[in-house]
Amino acid sequence: MHDHDAPDSHLPIEADAELTYYEQRVEAIQALLIEKGLLSADDVRRAVEDMDARSPAVGARVIARAWVDPHFKQHLLADAKAAIATLGIDVDTWSTLVAVENTPTIHNVVVCTLCSCYPRSLLGVPPDWYKSLNYRARVVKEPRTVLEEFGLELAPDIEVRVYDSTADMRYLVIPQRPAGSEGLSEEALAALVTRDSMIGVTQAQEPSP
Amino acid sequence: MPGVHDRGGWPDAGLITKAEHELSFWEKRTDALLVLLSGAGRRVIRVDELRRAIESLPPEAYETMGYYERWISAIETLLIEKNVLTKSEIDHKAEQIVEQRKIETGE
Architecture per CATH, A55-199: Alpha-Beta Complex (3.90)
Please tell me if residue A161 touches chain B, with a CB cutoff of 8 Å.
Answer: no
Across the interface, whether the CB atoms of A24 and B19 are under 8 A apart is answered no
Residues A45, A182: Cα–Cα separation, whole Å: 43
**Closest listed residue to residue A189, CA positions, set A86, A57, A18, A13:** A57
Q: What CATH number is given for B25-104 in this structure?
A: 1.10.472.20
- pLDDT digit string (tens) for B8-34? 999 999 999 999 999 999 999 999 999
Across the interface, whether the CB atoms of B7 and A137 are under 8 A apart is answered yes
Q: Where are the domains of chain B?
A: 25-104
State residue A2's pLDDT score. Answer: 42
Among this protein's residues, is A95 annotated catalytic?
Answer: no
Q: Where are the domains of chain A?
A: 22-52, 55-199
β A106-111/A96-101 pair status: unpaired
- Residue B3: Cβ-neighbour burial (10 angstroms; 0-12, 13-18, 19+): exposed
Please tell me if residue B71 touches chain A, with a CB cutoff of 8 Å.
Answer: no
State residue A6's pLDDT score. Answer: 38
Considering the entire predicted model, what is its pTM?
Answer: 0.88
DSSP type of residue A94: -
Across the interface, whether the CB atoms of A22 and B72 are under 8 A apart is answered yes
State residue A15's pLDDT score. Answer: 54
Nearest CA in chain B to A39: B36
HSE at residue A183, side-chain half, CA atoms within 13 A, is 3
Contacts of A17 in chain B (CB under 8 A): none
Each residue's pLDDT expressed in tens, for chain A with a length of 209 residues: 343 443 343 444 455 578 999 999 999 999 999 999 999 999 999 999 999 999 999 999 999 999 999 999 999 999 999 999 999 998 877 889 999 999 999 999 999 999 999 999 999 999 999 999 999 999 999 999 999 999 999 999 999 999 999 888 999 999 999 999 999 999 999 999 999 999 999 999 999 87
Across the interface, whether the CB atoms of A27 and B89 are under 8 A apart is answered no
Contacts of A44 in chain B (CB under 8 A): 29, 32-33, 36
State residue B107's pLDDT score. Answer: 63
The answer to whether A49 and B28 are in contact (CB under 8 A) is: no
Residues of chain B with pLDDT under 70: 107
Alpha helix (H) residue ranges in B1-107: 25-38, 47-55, 59-64, 67-81, 87-104
**ipTM value:** 0.94
Residue B51, φ and ψ in degrees, nearest 5: -60, -45
> From the CA of A60, how many Å to the nearest CA of chain B?
20
State residue A11's pLDDT score. Answer: 43
Residue type, A131: K
- Considering only the beta carbons, identify the residue of B20, B29, B44 that sits closest to A128: B20
